[in-house]
Amino acid sequence: MRAWLPLVATCSGTFMLLVYSTIVTVALPGMARDLHAGFGAAQWIVDVYTLALAGLLLGMGSLGDNLGRKRLYLCGLGVFGVATLGCGLAGNAAVLIAARAVQGLAGAAMFSTLLPLIGLTYTGRDRGVAFAVWGAVAGAAAGIGNVAGGVLTQFLSWQWIFFAGVPVCALTLALSAAVLIDDTTTSTRIDHWGIATFTLAAIGITFGIIRGGERGWGEPPALLGLGFGLVTLLAFVLVERAGSNPMLSPDLFRKGRFNGTLVAATGYYLAAFGALPVVSIWLQDGVGLTSLPAALVITVQPVAFFATSAGLGSMLHRLPAHWTLGGGTVAVGIGDALMLTVDGGSSWPALLPGLALTGIGAGIVSPVLPAVAMSAAPEAQSGVASAAANCARQLGLALGIAVLGSVFHRFSSGAAGADLNAQYAHGLVAVFAVAAAVGVGSGLLALWLLTPPRGGGPGPSGWRRAAKSVRHRSMSGGSSRSMNA
């Protein structure tokens, strides 16, 4: 039994960092009311966590190589616990947003080290079992987060979604310190400028989108945010092209297969999950559900996701990549289109077919995405390619919440009529129209980019072999960035 304690420690950390990406969704209306937060501030409560997680994920792999993966994981867990307590004690929206940002930073440190730590601990058949258990925990975390958020908010208060996590963090930290093995470190040169410019670019662009949707696109703060984000994004490109040890090699973007993977990663996450905060608002403030029933409605999606990825996982790995990534993303878009039937007289059952199909589509894409990303890059760069795909997923969620939240705010506030449910339904239809367009459009583009050239090109067996090669190198002490799947 003791041999599996390291898996318990890493799975507990995984559960914590992924649960807190969804647990606030259902609690958001109550948070906004208690903290007197506007629509834009409420979006940032959700979005800043994912944004920090995505923006720092690539760079944390380099820190793990220099500091040691166990040391970075323990530091991340400790900071995560303190930030979680700070979220529960927050007396205003600004403090809560700041604490959520620190949560995301700590989550990036944890996420970049979890899989390498498992690979360093287990060998042979035990390693396969360990990764299977880790995947199941990761898949279940989103659904449990929605339900836990609804239960704690309805029967206690929204603060308890954070207070309940503090002792779990403390126990996980103590267990991890005792049972995880110390790994050796290899001194590498950290791309500080790449990390800084990429993070600032993501923050600037997302801030501009949120501010523009809330106050108007011509407002100076929105324009400044977008302009700053674009300038720093250009700086990131220049830094990576000029650097001798870039965080993300520009050569990867010359490969259609790599670009197709990023398009699918961003598109399916945006289209599948970006609308969930405004769906929660409609269910509670429009339809009139309390937090727990609203959580159960939303949980239809992660249940479909988990059933698909767990039940069809082996078969999905045998299919061509352009059908799994491209076709799965198109399925997400079609699921969004099914929810265009929502109107002022609709209630929660109108969402169920669409939520189920978006979950199925996401469950098709997610299991194969890291392996396809690794196969799209040369062997020496396959690890960072996988990390980039995972980063694209997180940024897709952050931008999805920002863009779709802005669309909802604009169309629901501009709808005619006094009935709140009708106004919210009008905004929700606009949200699903945009999400459907993104899902179908990015899916078709990914399908085209990922289709092997006529007469040759890597097939599915090629990317499976690449994935096995990268896993073997990573588990033998290679760069932690190769395991950020």
pLDDT at residue number 379: 59
We report the CATH number of the domain holding residue 56 as 1.20.1250.20
Q: Is pLDDT larger for residue 321 or for residue 436?
A: 436
- Say if residue 396's pLDDT is above 90: no
Reduce the DSSP state of residue 415 to 3 states and report it: coil
**170 & 182 share domain:** yes
d(CA 286, CA 279): 10
Count how many domains the chain has: 3
Provide the percentage of residues in the chain whose pLDDT is more than 90.
Answer: 16
- Say if residue 131's pLDDT is above 70: no
**307 & 174 share domain:** no
pLDDT at residue number 129: 67
**160 & 201 share domain:** no
**211 & 271 share domain:** no
**285 & 417 share domain:** yes
**235 & 357 share domain:** no
Considering the domain boundaries, does residue 73 fall inside one?
Answer: yes
Least confident of 23-27, 108-112, 133-137, 317-321: 133-137
> What is the torsion angle, in degrees rounded to the nearest 10, for the CA atoms of residue 226, residue 59, residue 446 and residue 48?
-50
H or E, element range at 10: helix 5-19
Q: Determine the Cα angle at 110 with ends 122 and 168, to 5°.
A: 90
**205 & 329 share domain:** no
Give the end of a domain, one of 173, 188, 203: 188
d(CA 385, CA 366): 15
Give the end of a domain, one of 217, 244, 271: 244
pLDDT at residue number 480: 35
**pLDDT tens-digit series, residues 233-253:** 899 889 888 877 777 777 778
At 378, the pLDDT band (50, 70, 90 cuts) reads low
Considering the domain boundaries, does residue 469 fall inside one?
Answer: yes
Considering the domain boundaries, does residue 53 fall inside one?
Answer: yes
Considering the domain boundaries, does residue 452 fall inside one?
Answer: yes
Is residue 176 within 8 Å of 74, Cβ to Cβ? yes
Give mean pLDDT, residues 260-289: 86
Q: Is pLDDT larger for residue 462 or for residue 292?
A: 292
**Model pTM greater than 0.85?**
no
**42 & 139 share domain:** yes
Could you count the other beta carbons within 10 Å of the beta carbon of residue 3? 10
**305 & 161 share domain:** no
**141 & 205 share domain:** no
Query: What contacts 167, CB < 8 A, 6 or more positions away?
Result: none
Give the end of a domain, one of 188, 203, 233: 188
Considering the domain boundaries, does residue 249 fall inside one?
Answer: no
At 84, the pLDDT band (50, 70, 90 cuts) reads very high
Is residue 389 within 8 Å of 264, Cβ to Cβ? no
- Say if residue 52's pLDDT is above 70: yes
**207 & 144 share domain:** no
**111 & 223 share domain:** no
Domain around 394? 254-485
- Cα distances (angstroms) measured from residue 345 to each of 193, 335, 342, 426, 430: 53, 20, 8, 11, 16
Which of the listed ranges 87-91, 118-122, 468-472 does the model predict with the highest average pLDDT?
Answer: 87-91
